[in-house]
Amino acid sequence: MLFKKRGLYNKIAVICGIILTASFVVSCAGQEVADENVKIYYIGPKGNGLESWGSEVKVNTIENEKAVEELLGELSKDIVTSKSQAAITDPISIKSFKIEGDVVKLDFFKGYEQLGRIEEVLHRAAIVKTLTQLKKVNYVSFAVEGQPITDHLGNQVGEMKSEDFIFNIGSELNEYEQYEIKLYFANESKDKLVPVYRSVVYNSSASVEKMAVEQIIAGPKNDQICPTIAPETKVSNLSVKDGVCHIDFSKDFLSEPFEIDPELAIYSIVNTVTEFPNVEKVELKVEGSDEFMFRDFQISGLYERNPSLIN
């Protein structure tokens, strides 16, 4: 099998940053992508950022299974530069993979559990960002000996997409942190908010508050929890001053795709952002306006945390 041939049974390396170029386009949104080659990410000589080489695999390939197999092999290749490291190295190795719809499901041997928490998250980032360049792959899931991986609280990590990994566009992440954020989504009956913990690695110079709001927009990872905000929504601007988090959304924020009570949707954001110790209140805007109708809910002024909505 290509895995052994390419040396997939190598030790996993720590990955720390992502360098994006203007030509790199992820196909998660289902948009048309130029007939480019997939890039393989590896750790650069400084050990604090990702670099890439071009593979022979086309983004638009129709041979999905063959492409995934080849990319996993490429991810395990020895790097020409002596101080660079491949994303997948001994003794961490993949037992098998399968493709279901737009999800690549990877099953690792037990050695995967040797990874530290930060190492594990960074390792996932390299694989997910490589594989999801394929037009027909939007998500990647990880298991160890058939058991889905979990965070340290025992919550299943679930299917991951490229946007689940926070990075600094256009430069290396010279300083990075792992942060466990507490997000609030609607429960299955859509009458309460439930907390969901998600571990991310992000640039310490970036806004962790913005990252958390974007994770709410991205939605939950299982069917037992309901999304609250239209996924097309963009955060146009976010700033924190004197304990107030000011968030300006695109007009997509006003749409209602999930039939969620508007108050519940609003407080999925407010309760999430006020988890951060520097935020006491939240001001919501849409395209610069701080007074607007959100479905049938009048928005104006500052919003404080509402624990009564949490299950």
156 or 151, greater pLDDT: 156
Q: Is the pLDDT of residue 8 over 60?
A: no
- Quick one: pLDDT at residue 286? 96
DSSP the chain: -HHHHTT-SSB----------TT----TT-----SPEEEEEEE-TTSSSEEEEEEEEETT-S-HHHHHHHHHHHHTSPPSSTT-B-SS-BT--EEEEEEETTEEEEEE-GGGGGS-HHHHHHHHHHHHHHHTTSTT--EEEEEETTEEPB-TTS-B---B-GGGS---TTS--SSEEEEEEEEEEEETTSSSEEEEEEEEEEETTS-HHHHHHHHHHH--SSTTEE--S-TT--EEEEEEETTEEEEEE-GGGG--SS---HHHHHHHHHHHHTTSTT-SEEEEEETTBS-EEETTEEE-SEEE--GGGB-
Residue 169 lies inside a defined structural domain of this protein:
no
Residue 211 lies inside a defined structural domain of this protein:
yes
Residue 171 lies inside a defined structural domain of this protein:
no
List, in order, residues 6 or more apart from 50 with CB less than 8 Å away. Answer: 15, 16, 17, 18, 19, 41, 42, 43, 44, 126
98 and 159 share one domain: yes
Residue 33 to residue 26: CA distance in whole angstroms: 8
Domain around 254: 176-309
232 and 268 share one domain: yes
189 and 158 share one domain: no
Indicate the residue among 107, 138, 164 that finishes a domain.
164
- Quick one: pLDDT at residue 78? 73
Least confident residue range of 105-114, 119-128, 167-176, 217-226: 167-176
Residue 170 lies inside a defined structural domain of this protein:
no
Indicate the residue among 115, 142, 164 that finishes a domain.
164
Residue 295 lies inside a defined structural domain of this protein:
yes
Highest mean pLDDT among 2-6, 78-82, 117-121, 276-280: 276-280
- Quick one: pLDDT at residue 121? 72
275 and 224 share one domain: yes
Residue 79 lies inside a defined structural domain of this protein:
yes
196 and 301 share one domain: yes
Mean pLDDT of 131-142: 94
Indicate the residue among 164, 188, 211 that finishes a domain.
164
Residue 282 lies inside a defined structural domain of this protein:
yes
- Quick one: pLDDT at residue 12? 31
Highest mean pLDDT among 35-39, 175-179, 221-225: 35-39
**Residue 235 CB coordination number (10 Å):** 18
Burial class, 101, CB count within 10 angstroms (exposed 0-12 / middle 13-18 / buried 19+): exposed
140 and 14 share one domain: yes
119 and 209 share one domain: no
Residue 269 lies inside a defined structural domain of this protein:
yes
9 and 154 share one domain: yes
Highest mean pLDDT among 84-98, 107-121, 137-151: 137-151
- Quick one: pLDDT at residue 295? 85
pLDDT digits (tens, 9 = 90+) for 14-58: 333 333 333 333 334 444 445 799 998 776 666 556 678 889 999
Mean pLDDT of 182-187: 94
192-to-51, 130, 156, 262, 264 alpha-carbon distances in Å: 43, 37, 21, 12, 7
Residue 69 to residue 61: CA distance in whole angstroms: 13
228 and 280 share one domain: yes
73 and 18 share one domain: yes
Tell me the pLDDT band of 65, cut-offs 50, 70 and 90.
very high
68 or 178, greater pLDDT: 68
List, in order, residues 6 or more apart from 105 with CB less than 8 Å away. Answer: 97, 98, 99, 140, 141, 143
Q: Is the pLDDT of residue 269 over 80?
A: yes
Q: Which amino acid does the sequence have at 239?
A: S
Please state the domain count of the chain. 2
Rg of the chain taking only CA atoms, in angstroms: 20
154 and 270 share one domain: no
141 and 76 share one domain: yes
